[in-house]
Amino acid sequence: MLGNHDYRKNVDAQIEYGKRDTRWHMPARYYRTEIAIDAETKLAVFALDTQAILQRTEGWKEQVQWLQKSLGSEKAAWKIVVGHHPLRSAGAYGDQAWMITHIKPLLDRYGVAMYLCGHDHDLQVIAHPSDTFLCVVSGAGGGARDTAFGDHSLFAATNGGFAMLSVTPRRAAIAMYDADGTLRFVHGRNA
């Protein structure tokens, strides 16, 4: 998925690269991919170009319409949306009002379990009372920055680290790890 630094060069070059290297999966600026959890359970992942949405570049409205149509017709048991920028954050950049206005209602309406993102150089898990989904920020691989434990934070850390998503037919869980691989926090949602 694209982020703000990708826009400094040729964004479409990353899409083209995926045609030459099967390890690189980014078929478009925004897209859906599916992962089989078992023979009957699927996870649908919707990747957004949040830079286009936040900068209101050409095609951003079509992207939001695509997300609404795609989530509305999705049959997978689990739905996760990923984007570079957070909707909610107690970190350096804070909440993104434009994303909350245009993306959050779709995540709530169509039963998205989690919104995964980066951009803020920290680790956060946020459960805002008006959201039906968890907001997970995992941007601590790019160098740590100060963050805060916000009003609706379940977890926040400023050290380097990473997140790991685990999905079973009955549960989706996010685990937050330090840079040395020490588990710091786990939180999940049942189907």
Domain boundaries, the chain: 4-190
Could you tell me which CATH number the domain at 4-190 has? 3.60.21.10
Q: What's the pLDDT at 58?
A: 86
Residues 119, 4: Cα–Cα separation, whole Å: 8
Q: What's the pLDDT at 6?
A: 67
- Per residue in 55-102, pLDDT (tens digit) is 898 889 999 999 999 999 999 999 999 999 999 998 888 899 999 999
Q: What's the pLDDT at 4?
A: 67
Q: What's the pLDDT at 121?
A: 76
Q: What's the pLDDT at 188?
A: 94
Residue ranges of the chain with per-residue pLDDT less than 50: none
DSSP the chain: ---GGGGGS-HHHHHHHTTT-TT----SSSEEEEEESSSS-EEEEEE--HHHHHHT-TTHHHHHHHHHHHHHH---SEEEEE-SS-SS-SSSS---HHHHHHTHHHHHHTT--EEEE-SSSSEEEE--TT-SSEEEEE-GGG--------TTEEEEE-SSEEEEEEE-SSEEEEEEEETTS-EEEEEEEE-
Q: What's the pLDDT at 85?
A: 92
